[in-house]
């Protein structure tokens, strides 16, 4: 008689166990990326800094837009506020950059609380309301004399820094690791499960006792703090901060596109999307200067149309289909159980 061992089922890791595993991979990845400047020139170091910023912004947006399901089109305001807080603090008051990054995040968190009343809206109405709020802040900052610089004829703040390009590289690498680490801990916590429930069915989640308004506010504040911190660090790196440079709508659009392109609602999505779009942009810019926007747009439309869940879902689908083919090929039709 042939005795077949019953397949065993291994429960997937959840909560703290899953967070520790993912944080371990994050630390290993950060250590490996920290070695890159030893092998590349200043051009690629600068490119990687912008990649870090884009991935960090997309990961922060993913908390409210991907995991909670509330697509914010006003997240660029937090990046701009952080940049201006940092520029004014460094130039006018001579405060150090670490203090300004903390203040930039705190200012963004306080401004995020102003968005709480519009959480009664959903879908397109919420997206348009957040966009309108960002445009209001942009107009206020354009008219406000405090944001123009020390002299009456200035149109922005010139921020001088003694930090080198390599030092900025490690600052933004650290901030990126901190953003992703925050996302890992948050989505694997009680609040993260509540956010996913809100995304799945907010009415059902509320009927089961989930405090939907509270967790939406938590998600929005967390997703606003990190753009403020990144904006504060970006001010001395950019050297000149103006409304046009840090309140650009493209900053918000890049957050959304990178998140959706990689896979919204996943930890890896913004990372994969940020890297993929950055590589595509570099290739298109270097080889097809006059058509790089056309190429970028066509690829984004193609991926989102064919794989709406993003590149991460596409890779998982390929892996599952390959595994199923292997399982089928291992079946022996002649085997009998007696």
Residue 295: the pLDDT is 75
Is 2 a domain residue? no
Q: CA–CA separation, 158 vs 142, rounded Å?
A: 16
- Rounded to two decimals, the pTM is 0.88
Asked whether the beta carbons of 170 and 52 are under 8 A apart, the reply is no
Domain limits at 88?
15-329
pLDDT of the residue at 338: 43
Q: Would 92 be classed as within a structural domain?
A: yes
100-104, 113-117, 162-166, 303-307: which has the minimum mean pLDDT?
303-307
The confidence band for 285, taking pLDDT boundaries of 50, 70 and 90, is confident
Residues in the chain: 338
**Average pLDDT value for residue range 291-314:** 77
Q: For residues 4-35, b (16+ Cβ closer than 10 Å) or e, as one string?
A: eeeeeeeeeeeeeeebeebbeebeeebeebee
Q: How far apart are CA 188 and CA 194, in angstroms?
A: 10
More confident residue, 317 or 245: 245
Of residues 120 and 265, more confidence is placed in: 265
Average pLDDT over residues 80-96: 94
Q: How far apart are CA 13 and CA 211, in angstroms?
A: 25
Classify residue 252: in a domain, yes or no: yes
pLDDT score at 142? 84
Two tokens, residue 162: 């003694």
pLDDT higher than 70, residue 174? yes
| Number of structural domains found in the chain | 1
In a domain, 4, yes or no: no
User: 6 lies in a domain?
Assistant: no
75 lies in a domain?
yes
pLDDT(51) > 60: yes
pLDDT at 15: 63
Indicate whether 10 pLDDT > 60. Answer: no
**CATH number of the domain bearing residue 260:** 1.10.3470
| Domain-located, residue 3 | no
| Run of H or E residues at 157 | strand 157-158
Averaged over 135-156, what is the pLDDT?
Answer: 80
Residue 304, pLDDT score: 74
As a whole number, mean pLDDT of residues 226-235 equals 96
Considering the domain boundaries, does residue 21 fall inside one? yes
Mean of per-residue pLDDT scores for the chain: 86
């Amino acid at each position: 008689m042939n005795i077949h061992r019953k397949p065993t089922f291994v429960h997937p890791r959840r909560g703290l166990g899953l967070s520790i595993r993912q944080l371990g991979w994050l630390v290993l990845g950060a250590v490996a990326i920290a070695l890159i400047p030893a092998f590349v020139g200043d051009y690629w170091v600068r490119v990687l800094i912008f990649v870090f910023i884009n991935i960090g912004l997309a990961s922060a947006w993913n908390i409210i837009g991907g995991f909670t399901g509330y697509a914010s089109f006003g997240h660029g305001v937090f990046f701009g506020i952080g940049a201006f807080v940092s520029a004014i603090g460094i130039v006018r008051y001579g405060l150090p950059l670490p203090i300004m990054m903390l203040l930039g995040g705190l200012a963004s968190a306080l401004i995020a609380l102003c968005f709480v009343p519009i959480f009664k809206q959903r879908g397109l109405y919420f997206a348009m309301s957040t966009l309108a709020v960002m445009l209001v802040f942009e107009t206020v900052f354009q008219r406000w004399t405090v944001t123009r610089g020390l002299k009456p004829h200035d149109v922005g703040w010139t921020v001088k820094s003694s930090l080198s390009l390599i030092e900025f590289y490690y600052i933004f690498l650290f901030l990126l690791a901190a953003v992703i680490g925050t996302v890992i801990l948050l989505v694997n916590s009680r609040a993260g499960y509540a956010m996913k429930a809100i995304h799945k069915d907010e009415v059902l989640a509320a009927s089961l006792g989930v405090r939907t308004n509270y967790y939406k506010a938590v998600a929005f504040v967390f997703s606003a703090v990190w753009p403020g911190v990144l904006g504060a660090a970006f001010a001395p790196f950019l050297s000149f901060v103006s409304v046009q440079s840090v309140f650009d709508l493209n900053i918000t659009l890049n957050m959304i596109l990178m998140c959706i392109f990689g896979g919204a609602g996943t930890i890896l999505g913004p990372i994969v999307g940020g890297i993929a779009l950055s590589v595509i942009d570099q290739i298109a810019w270097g080889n097809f200067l006059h058509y790089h926007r056309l190429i970028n747009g066509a690829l984004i439309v193609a991926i989102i149309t064919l794989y709406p869940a993003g590149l991460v879902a596409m890779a998982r689908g390929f892996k599952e289909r390959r595994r199923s083919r292997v399982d089928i090929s291992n079946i022996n039709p002649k085997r009998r159980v007696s």
